[in-house]
């Protein structure tokens, strides 16, 4: 599975991960300041759709990025599955939070990845990504796309941001 159990990875490491089927909502050209609301709605939509289908996720939520964030970002928000979805999941009634979000099949790629666990608030993730990328380059390796974050600690209003764990995965050439 592309989200191996273990960690936290307090120092960067290289792992071999397996291809993993996922259920996601996709956002293309999303503004960075809209991401917190999008993440909440996206995970809620995927979770509700999987529950409706009797398909529980087999791991924590993730965000997969097709290119480095700039003014906007293309991101897939979802959960890993045991087996792939066969097409999208049906739309729900108007009062359901996923009316404007299609839940579709996707995947996390397999192969060699550099991994690092970030312990702390989400607003410090950029520094963790810089640390992981610098380490990869110091090892004489080259990163490739896409890359992803796994939210090992599920955030809740009462969660202390200092206790959040996010694992960063950077595929290698």
Per-residue pLDDT reduced to its tens digit, 98-144: 335 789 999 999 999 999 999 999 999 999 999 999 999 999 999 99
Domain extents in the chain: 13-171
Whether residue 8 has a cis bond before it, omega within 30° of 0:
yes
Torsion of CA 147, 72, 33, 146, to 10 degrees: -10
What is the token pair recorded at 160?
Answer: 């202390």
- Say what the pTM is: 0.89
CATH code of 13-171, in short, is 3.20.80.10
Distance CA 45, CA 78 (A): 9
């Amino acid at each position: 599975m592309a989200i191996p159990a273990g960690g936290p990875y307090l120092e960067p490491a290289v792992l071999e991960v397996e291809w993993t089927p996922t259920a996601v909502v996709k956002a293309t050209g999303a503004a960075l300041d809209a991401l917190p609301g999008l993440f909440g709605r996206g995970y809620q939509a995927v979770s509700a759709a999987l529950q409706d289908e009797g398909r529980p996720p087999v791991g924590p939520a993730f965000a997969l990025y097709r290119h480095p964030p700039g003014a906007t970002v293309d991101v897939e928000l979802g959960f890993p599955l045991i087996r792939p979805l066969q097409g999208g999941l049906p739309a729900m009634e108007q009062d359901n939070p996923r009316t404007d979000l299609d839940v579709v099949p996707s995947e996390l790629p397999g192969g060699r990845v550099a991994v690092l666990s970030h312990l702390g608030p989400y607003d410090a993730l950029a520094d963790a990504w810089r640390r992981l990328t610098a380490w990869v380059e110091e090892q004489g390796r080259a990163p490739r796309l896409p890359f992803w974050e796994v939210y090992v600690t599920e955030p809740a209003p009462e969660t202390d941001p200092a206790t959040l764990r996010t694992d960063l995965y950077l595929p290698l050439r």
